[in-house]
């Protein structure tokens, strides 16, 4: 990629490290921490983030097998949990790269056992292959339904060469104002664990807590927690207690490509959605929805120019958007504008704020930044 591209994202690896340490302080020494780096570390860059967290993370969490393979090939030795159930043709890679798959049915476990035998796993490592089982306590997505979980876990454990080392569940609404449903889920999860205990099965790692639960549901910490959004310095909703000392780890910046003064009455951008009420200096930024700066931000978002908030006007284009530069004096092409994160003056636009402008969740803001936005990695200590 051309090194001087006039848009870029700055990723503060020191902030991500400090955010993980804040989580560790919150949960205490007896609880392991899985750093969730799926979806390219929520758009921050999984390899660079994993390197920054390597001395501190007990586990890494990803969604897909290929993400886990990439971490292994980069030299990471921590256990890596692949949270999306692998397909049968991915099992060889799961074994080869010592990834921990999340299973929810005995049939796939049987296929894994067959592959283990064929690849002579036991001869090479002299131990069973660890898997985790996901229990659906109300998410309605992946996992074995909680009422069926004890029997399913027992059947998976019975597969030669396979060991159920972990049991997990997931909250759909830990960040809601009412935490009752999350607590009901924890009750169902505890029931499954008790039933397994009656069968003599006690998975070593039970885990449920995402970032919101880490903040508000200490009873969910169990043996391990799975922070994702908290690592990158955001909260998923206004109903999550701000009790983690975390800070935003990303800033999105652009250099002004052009400045022109337009007369009153001029319309700006596609659809003629914005009409200037007075003569206005307008800056053109080389950033658009192809970069992940969504079309819905037109007329809603703001940018920091010289430490002052100025409105983004008109529809966002594929490769450009426009900013009202009124009240700033003479602004010239090449000046830096901050659309997300902390400006060089110290002013900032939080990820949560951009999410409100987009009518979405903070996760989507950073995950949506496209690959053509270069990431520049910083350490601020």
User: Both 254 and 318 in a single domain?
Assistant: yes
| Residue 1 marked as a ligand binder | no
- Whether pTM exceeds 0.85: yes
Residue 162: pLDDT over 60 = yes
Residue 70 lies in a domain: yes
| Total domain count, the chain | 2
Structural domain boundaries, residue 332 = 250-349
What's the pLDDT tens digit per position in 75-96? 999 999 999 999 999 999 999 9
- Which of 38, 46, 134, 179 is labelled catalytic? 38
Last residue of some domain: 232, 265, 284?
Answer: 232
* Pairwise CA distance, residues 145 & 139, whole Å: 10
Select from 30, 36, 69 the least CA-distant residue to 50: 36
270 is catalytic: yes
Instruction: Among 197, 232, 267, give the residue marking a domain's end.
Output: 232
292 and 175 share a domain?
no
Specify whether 98 is located in the same domain as 144: yes
Q: Is residue 23 part of a domain?
A: yes
The band of 3, judged by pLDDT with boundaries at 50, 70 and 90, is low
Q: Are 184 and 87 part of one and the same domain?
A: yes
Q: What is the mean pLDDT of residues 274-286?
A: 97
Same domain, 132 and 104: yes
Query: Taking Cα atoms as reference points, which of 325, 229, 201, 195 lies closest to residue 268?
Result: 325
Using alpha carbons, select from 40, 37, 59, 45 the residue that is nearest to residue 12. 45
119 annotated binding-site participant: no
Task: Say which residue, 124 or 374, is predicted with more confidence.
Answer: 374
- Residue 270: inside a domain: yes
Same domain, 33 and 145: yes
Domain of 168: which CATH number? Answer: 3.20.20.10
32 catalytic, yes or no?
Answer: no
In a domain, 25, yes or no: yes
380: in domain? no
217 in the same domain as 166 = yes
State whether 55 and 154 are in the same domain. yes
Alpha carbons 301 and 322: distance in angstroms, whole number: 11
Q: Is 82 exposed, middle or buried (0-12, 13-18, 19+ CB in 10 A)?
A: buried
């Amino acid at each position: 990629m051309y090194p001087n591209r006039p848009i870029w994202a700055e990723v503060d690896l020191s902030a991500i490290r400090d955010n993980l340490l804040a989580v560790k302080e919150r949960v205490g020494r007896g609880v392991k921490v899985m750093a969730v780096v799926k979806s390219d570390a929520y758009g921050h860059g999984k390899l660079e983030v994993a390197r920054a967290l390597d001395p501190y993370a007990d586990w890494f969490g990803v969604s897909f097998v290929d993400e886990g393979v990439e971490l292994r090939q980069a030299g990471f030795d921590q256990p890596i949990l692949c949270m999306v159930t692998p397909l049968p043709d991915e099992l060889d890679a799961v074994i080869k790269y010592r990834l921990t798959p999340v299973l929810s049915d005995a049939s796939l476990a049987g296929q894994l056992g067959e592959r283990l035998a064929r690849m002579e796993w036991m001869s090479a490592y002299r131990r069973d292959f660890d898997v985790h089982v996901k229990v659906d306590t109300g998410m309605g997505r992946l996992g074995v339904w909680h009422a069926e979980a004890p029997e399913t876990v027992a059947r998976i454990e019975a597969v030669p060469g396979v060991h159920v080392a972990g049991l997990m569940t997931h909250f759909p609404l830990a960040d809601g104002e009412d935490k009752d449903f999350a607590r009901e889920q924890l009750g169902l999860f505890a029931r499954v664990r008790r039933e397994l205990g009656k069968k003599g099965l006690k998975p070593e790692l039970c885990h449920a807590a995402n970032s919101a639960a880490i903040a508000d549901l200490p009873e969910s910490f169990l043996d391990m927690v799975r922070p994702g959004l908290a690592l990158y310095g955001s909260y998923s909703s206004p109903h999550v207690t701000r009790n983690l000392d975390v800070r935003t780890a990303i800033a999105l910046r652009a250099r002004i490509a052009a400045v022109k003064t337009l007369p009153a009455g001029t319309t700006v951008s596609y659809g003629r959605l914005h009409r200037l009420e007075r003569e206005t200096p307008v800056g053109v930024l080389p950033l658009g929805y192809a970069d992940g700066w969504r079309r819905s931000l037109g007329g809603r978002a703001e940018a920091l120019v010289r430490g002052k908030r100025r409105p983004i006007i008109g529809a966002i284009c594929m490769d450009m958007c426009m900013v009202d530069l009124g009240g700033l004096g003479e602004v010239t092409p090449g000046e830096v504008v901050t659309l997300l994160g902390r400006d060089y003056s110290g002013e900032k636009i939080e990820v949560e704020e951009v999410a409100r402008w987009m009518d979405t969740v903070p996760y989507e803001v950073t995950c949506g930044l496209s690959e053509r936005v270069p990431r520049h990695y910083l350490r601020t200590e």
